Amino acid sequence: MLNLSPVWKRRLLTLLVVVVVVGAVLGFTVWYKFFRQVDDGPFATAEERFLYGSIDAENTAGLPYWIWVALPQVFPDLLPGNGQGGYRAFGVPWEQGHEMPTGFTKKIIGFPRVANNCAICHTTTYRTRADEAPKIVAAGPNHTFNVQAMLRFLTACAADPRFNADTLLAVITQQTKLSFIDKLAYRYLLIPRTRDALLQRSGQLAWMNRPHWPDWGVGRDDPMNLTKYFLTNLPWDSSVGNADFPSIWNIGLREGKNLNWGGETPAPISVIIDSALGLQADPKTVVETSKWLLSYLTAKRAPKYPFPVDPILAAKGKILYDAQCASCHATGSPRVGTVIPIQEIGTDPNRLDTWTQEAADKANAAVAKLGIQRVGLIKTNGYQAVPLDGIWIRGPYLHNGSVANLRELLEPVENRSKVFYRGYDVYDPVNVGFDTQSADAIRLGFKFDIGIKGNGNQGHLYGTTLSAEDKSALIEYMKTIGPAEGE
Amino acid sequence: MTKPGRTIVLIAEAVILVFALLYFGMRFTSNSAVEYSNSLEHFKYGSTGGEILAGIPYSVWMTLPRIFNLPGGRYESFGFIYEAGKDLPIGVSKRRYQGIDRVSFNCAICHYGSVRDTPDSKPVLIAGMPSNTVDLRAFYQFLFDAAKDQRFSAALVLSEDKAMGIHEDFINRQIIRYYAVMAMQSFMITYSQRLNFIMSEPPFGPGRIDTFSPAKALLNFPTSPDKMPENERIGTTDFPSIWNQRKREGMWLHWDGNNNDVAERNRSAAYGTGAYPPTLDRPNMQRIMNWLLDEARPPKYPYPINAALAARGKTVYDQLCDGCHGPDGVNFAPNYKELGKVTPIADIGTDRHRLDSYTLPLAMNQSLLYAGTKDPNERFRHFRKTYGYANMPLDGIWLRSPYLHNGSVPTLHDLFEASANRPKTFYRGDDVYDPIRVGFKSNSPERNGRKLFLLETTCAVSKDCEGNGNQGHEGKNYGTELPQADKDALVEYLKTF
């Protein structure tokens, strides 16, 4: 022990107190400004939580809220050129009056951050007429959303010289009063780090930006290639597996069955976990979040067909359905939820071929390494026969969304549209599917061409030889396939 | 120097430094609007906070008309209204911010009109009525042109200041000379590019504006012709009257009824005065709002009314108009029949440009406005895309000429004619009243030296007709098929509103 005079002892003690206090204030400030977690709930309903609730992806994948707000305003030239502004240009469903589009979460981790949840790909909008507000259906396929365009937009912003503190803060400070500390944080930390993170993400997505590579378009992604390239270190291959976002309501029907179009995931909870991880949900909370999602989705039902149905015609159609379709599609039938061999179903094989046993093994190992216990991915040789609840709103049809509507699905391949427009949400009750050919569908939609790799509309020829009357009856019945809400 | 001497100098230096710091600190953090204790004066000249981010230096505002030889050296040629003894017109506010006096618009620029009996009589100025004479777009065009013009220089601003007796102190003169004018020029050029799509719409003329295209510009929507659908490009509308707001709470507001919250609608309109979420002067705005809610009233019709005829008109009105427009000009309230609701475009049949210019993506994106303020209730959550035009109360309807949302029908008498018989062209911007046809005079190309605007409802004369269609609000349900005597009676009754 040093032998100090009492004066020096007092001085040292004062110094120590000052250091501790300053340190504590500094530490608290840093914690408060960057790490403090504020729960984004509670939500008024389970549906609200599904649509807007955090799955804890904000820490890894979150954008600082004000950067998220500013980007479409700073870079309108990088938006898809469909004449729509802001994030709506990507076709996101957005309840009028609601702060965020569906599938977007806002959570404070030190500062407000924006990430996505399952609703980003699993919310449907539809309109019965062009002149009404879109209705929002949770857990349906998001047939209007162009996720690839959004990913490309974000990375293009980051690569643009305008992505700098001066430009972004000029826009941000027109909308909110940032404190001095927040301004510094945005200028020296959040803006540069967000730019770096987005550029890094563009590296991870480079495989989908290869020249002349088929676009996902709206309502689709390349699910198993995404899984493969994110979870494993396998080299890029030439496979293209663009596939429709599926509906995920009444997921209890799938218990003990195969999920994903190719049936690669044998358990609902595993699909939910893997999808949440794909959105960069926190591995520490992902199992708990997924369990809640499973319970919500098990209880959730398809929406009712919103137009009149002819009961007599539908009854006639049910007889045809029971004879022609039920063995693969009806609940409790032997083949529903099982994989139908590709040789039998005959639809476009590209999606199936994106996945391999090697990819399954490596992906399972990677998830296990995160400490997550789940039933693993497998390799199959076909496409699964899906339950058809709410099939009326799940168009376009087949795993790759290559058939515009149910009427065309019952036509032989040569009569199915070779080019049509996806992503317009006005419903077509005559053909039973979304409007894919009107002027507005063309202006706002994504041009789908069956000639592009992975977009083949062949196969699933069941019912195509029925008489015109029988087809109409069958379609009438299919409008009613549930269980729907309230049934 | 001796030691005490040095100490004194040091202390003196320190004192000077402290005072200098204090002075400059206070000067450059100054932020105070000119205040008016009278609520009407406040409405006319009070600030919404627009000067902070979108203000024009007072010296520039005052000298520009002289630099560019505007008539009278003021802005009267744009229809701006000057009261005797005032340096600024009605609707322009002043605030000292960072040591510099700046001006911006307030609500009164679009909602303060002028009426007179004859060209020679003194105009009566009326708060809350549509600014029938004000041509805002022409004013903005002037500003944008000025920004690019070589004559607009700091040197000229300062010399005109001197000539006009406007005193800017030494520091402000340097700021104007070396910064403010240049900054304003570059701001105006950037701003004009963003608003280019609005400036290329057919001209509005006095008393009209495109209300929601500026919101698209604010959110920087893609607006180039190849990206914006043709039918969403034009949103020309009449300035509305803004009296009796309390009674309108809960009704669907704006011409297409896209918002049912008066306070939010006001914050939205405040964007037009340059007030943004961080700069909106909330106490001042609240004062304006209180005035609008409970004090702003239309004046009585000043000419004789034939009581017997009006009484007969009331029976026609009660049968035909009351369901959509309310019982009369005073006793209206939300939830009265169809009042304050939206009539589908197929029924009303009026020009649909304004309706189509307000889009679903815009309504969605507006939900992000005011998301970053202290009060979470300020965030916009009431905007909705609609598919028709709203049924308005008719308080002070005699002053709200020309009629329909796009101001395409000059008088009430014309409104009760089928569109084929309504005037195909007429002049807007006059303030001489026509008590025979009930509305402003519309046949003179100029008024006391101020050029008026020829509105073309069809493309017979030029291509500037889009958005000006005078069709609709006609047929059996809208009074255009009534016998002439009934029409006359109805118009007589409407004068009492």
How far B17 CA lies from chain A's nearest CA (Å)? 25
Nearest by CB to A97, from B216, B367, B387: name it.
Answer: B367
Q: Token match 């959570």: residue?
A: A107
Mean pLDDT of A279-287: 94
What is the spatial distance between Cα B459 and Cα B51, in angstroms, rounded to a whole number? 40
- Our CA-based measurement puts residue A50 at a distance from the nearest CA of chain B, in whole angstroms, of 20
CB contact under 8 A, B384 and A99: no
* Portion 157-216 of B in contact with A at CB < 8 A: 216
Has residue A2 got a pLDDT over 70? no
**Banded model confidence at residue A400, pLDDT cuts 50, 70, 90:** very high
Are A273 and A267 a contacting pair, CB within 8 Å? no
- For A76, which of B221, B229, B359 is closest by C-beta distance? B221
Token reading at B107? 């609500």
Q: Residue B403 carries which DSSP code?
A: B
CA distance linking residue B244 with residue B395, whole number of Å: 8
CA B91 – CA B107 distance, rounded (Å): 6
The answer to whether the Cβ–Cβ distance between A96 and B383 falls below 8 Å is yes
Q: Do B367 and A99 touch (CB under 8 A)?
A: yes
DSSP A85-144: -GGGGGT----TT-SS-TTEEEEEESEEEEEE-GGGTSEEEEBSSTTSPPEEEETS--TT
Q: How would you write the pLDDT of chain B (497 residues) with one tens digit per residue?
A: 567 788 899 999 999 999 999 999 988 888 999 999 999 999 999 999 999 999 999 999 999 999 999 999 999 999 999 999 999 999 999 999 999 999 999 999 999 999 999 999 999 999 999 999 999 999 999 999 999 999 999 999 999 999 999 999 999 999 999 999 999 999 999 889 999 999 999 999 999 999 999 999 999 999 888 888 889 999 999 999 999 999 999 999 999 999 999 999 999 999 999 999 999 999 999 999 999 999 999 999 999 999 999 999 999 999 999 999 999 999 999 889 999 999 999 999 999 999 999 999 999 999 999 998 889 999 999 999 999 999 999 999 999 999 999 999 999 999 999 999 999 999 999 999 999 999 999 999 999 999 999 999 998 777 788 999 999 999 999 999 999 999 999 999 999 99
Which distant-in-sequence residues (6+ apart) come within 8 Å of B463 by Cβ?
B202
Does B282 touch chain A if contact means CB atoms closer than 8 Å? no
A29-43, A116-130, A399-413, A446-460: least confidently modelled range: A29-43
B276 contacts chain A (CB < 8 A): yes
Q: Is the pLDDT of residue A251 over 90?
A: yes
Cα B469 to chain centroid, rounded: 22
Q: How far apart are CA A353 and CA A342, in angstroms?
A: 11
Cβ-defined contact of B220 to A76 (cutoff 8 Å): yes
Q: To the nearest 5 percent, what fractions of chain B are helix, strand and coil?
A: 40, 10, 45
Task: Give the contacts of A211 (CB within 8 A, at least 6 positions apart).
Answer: none
Strand B208-210 with B124-127, pairing:
unpaired
Q: Which amino acid is at A480?
A: T
Structure tokens at B401: 């000429």
Determine, for residues B227 and A83 on separate chains, whether the beta-carbon distance falls below 8 Å. yes
Residue A8: partners with Cβ closer than 8 Å, 6 or more residues away: none
Chain A interface includes B347 (CB < 8 A): no
Question: Which chain B residue lies closest to A174 (C-alpha atoms)?
Answer: B276
Q: Quick one: pLDDT band at residue A465, thresholds 50, 70, 90?
A: very high
Q: Which residues make Cβ contacts (< 8 Å) with residue B480, sequence separation at least 6?
A: B416, B417, B418, B474
Q: Burial code of A356-371, b = ≥16 C-beta within 10 A, e = fewer?
A: beebbebbbebbeeee
Contact B151, B63 (CB under 8 A): no
For the stretch A194-219, pLDDT in tens is 999 999 988 889 999 999 999 999 99
Q: What is the DSSP letter of A368?
A: H
Binding-face residues of B in 29-88 toward A, CB within 8 A = 53
* Local structure of A302: helix, strand or coil: strand
Q: Is B225 touching A (CB cutoff 8 A)?
A: no
Rounded to two decimals, the ipTM of the complex is 0.94
* Mean predicted confidence (pLDDT) in A441-447: 93
Pair type for strands B236-238 and B342-344? unpaired
The H or E element that residue B124 is part of is: strand B124-127
Position B2 scores a pLDDT of 65
